[in-house]
Amino acid sequence: MDSQVMPREQLGVCAEGNLHSVYLMFNANDGVDSQMRPCVANVAQYIHDLADQFADSAFNGFVAVGANYWDTLYPAARPCQLKPFPAMNQENRDAPAIEYDLFVHIRCDRFDILHLVANEVCQMFEGLVELVDEERGFRFMDSRDLTGFVDGTENPKGRSRQDVALIGEEDAAFKNGSYIHVQKFAHNLSKWNRLPEKKQEDIIGRTKAENIEYASADKPLTSHIKRVNLKDDAGKSMEILRQSMPYGTVKEQGLMFISTCRNSVNFEKMLESMVYGDNEGNHDHLLHFTQALTGSSFFAPSLDFLDKSA
Ligand code: HEM
């Protein structure tokens, strides 16, 4: 099919889960924009090509451009809903905004490949950027968060991953691009692990060992599931595609939460519902056990947009 009609998505936006991940957050040096555009396109194409080369290890990834950097890099046009991370704070529930200019997200079932590629990507960007943050994610047990609960169960499946995560005709210039929100959550595991299992389950809204969803009537209004399961004005489920993975070391560990979506509203509404809660003040009690250290907003354009804009 003609690429004018169907711009190619970056494969990591909708990819299935992997065993390992590397997250690289960069800020751009001043005055390098004309060199940066072809470089971003090359890095995205390099990652795309590696997905074929290392298909047996399910390599994938994407490059995303920060909301605050977008207009510097691509002044001609901006995705309709691209805006800075919606920072929020209520009592001791904090969702701070920490923005970066570029986010390179790579995943694979072989860690050695990721390490090689991360080094190569940094080499390609040499002189143009500063590497500001780096984390490595891993699959924990049977795709569990470090709280011990399976994470990702209710994610969109099959082709509906694309329907949820990729822009369609509603913003044709950015078709097959995706809004990306990232929050690095550090868990207080010693506090969490002191909770009896039933209390943990009430906070998530699912059972721990068997991962069974609570019946609707049994879900506390303060449970995570209850707070993020939202409908729009037309009664349609508001969905995101989560690409989160556990990260860290014994000193600091938690969830690298990553949302990909064809709009930026769904993520923002969910986060509001977690932090601010409903009209009765029922907020997400998971937030008593984890703290968002960062909050960043990006856009992952199609490969064709990056090529054309290089
Ligand atoms: C579901 C963990 C943050 C949105 C879940 C589930 C777990 C979980 C265990 C249940 C299994 C599943 O369906 O995946 C966490 C942890 C977080 C976190 C540990 C941070 C420390 C967030 C944030 C959002 C979010 C920030 C969005 C703003 C969702 C959604 C679901 C979900 C949409 C599916 C709900 C459903 O349809 O049942 N999360 N989550 N999560 N989470 Fe989170």
Q: What is the pLDDT of residues 131-187, one digit of tens each?
A: 999 999 999 999 999 999 999 999 999 999 999 999 999 999 999 999 999 999 999
**Dist. CA 225 → ligand 1 center (Å):** 7
Cα–ligand 1 centroid distance for 100 (angstroms):
23
Residue whose structure tokens are 């991962």: 211
- How far is residue 183's CA from residue 289's CA, in Å, rounded to a whole number? 15
Q: Classify residue 204 as exposed, middle or buried by CB count within 10 Å of its CB (0-12, 13-18, 19+).
A: buried
Does a structural domain hold residue 245?
A: yes
**Average pLDDT score over the chain:** 97
CATH of the domain at 218: 3.30.70.1030
Helix (H, G, I), strand (E, B) or coil at 19: coil
Residue 4 lies in a domain: no
- Flag whether the ipTM exceeds 0.95: yes
CA atoms within 13 A on the CB side of 152: 22
Q: Ligand 1 in contact with 287 (CB < 6 A)?
A: no
Separation CA 70–CA 67 (nearest Å): 5
CB atoms within 10 A of CB 81: 19
Question: Is 303:10 a contact under the CB 8 Å cutoff?
Answer: yes
**What angle, rounded to 10 degrees, do the helices at 111-124 and 33-53 form?**
160
Q: How many domains does the chain have?
A: 1
Q: Identify the residue whose C-alpha is closest to ligand 1 atom 26.
A: 271
Range of the domain at 305: 11-309
Residue at 2 is within a domain: no
- Assigned domain for 1 exists: no
What are the tens digits of pLDDT across the range 52-76?
999 999 999 999 999 999 999 999 9
Read off the pLDDT of residues 226-256 as tens digits, 9 standing for 90 and up.
999 999 999 999 999 999 999 999 999 999 9
Q: How far is the CA of 10 from the centre of ligand 1 (A)?
A: 24
Asked whether the whole model's pTM tops 0.90, one would answer yes
275 lines ligand 1 (CB under 6 A): no
Ligand 1 atom at shortest distance from the alpha carbon of 292: 21
183 Cα nearest atom in ligand 1:
26
Q: Which of 151, 202, 284, 304 is catalytic?
A: 151
Domain contains 6: no
Using alpha carbons, list the distances in angstroms from residue 257 to 61, 96, 171.
15, 14, 26
Does residue 185 lie within any of the structural domains? Answer: yes
Q: Is residue 224 part of a domain?
A: yes
Is the minimum distance from the CB of 224 to ligand 1 under 6 angstroms? yes
Residue 251 forms part of a structural domain = yes
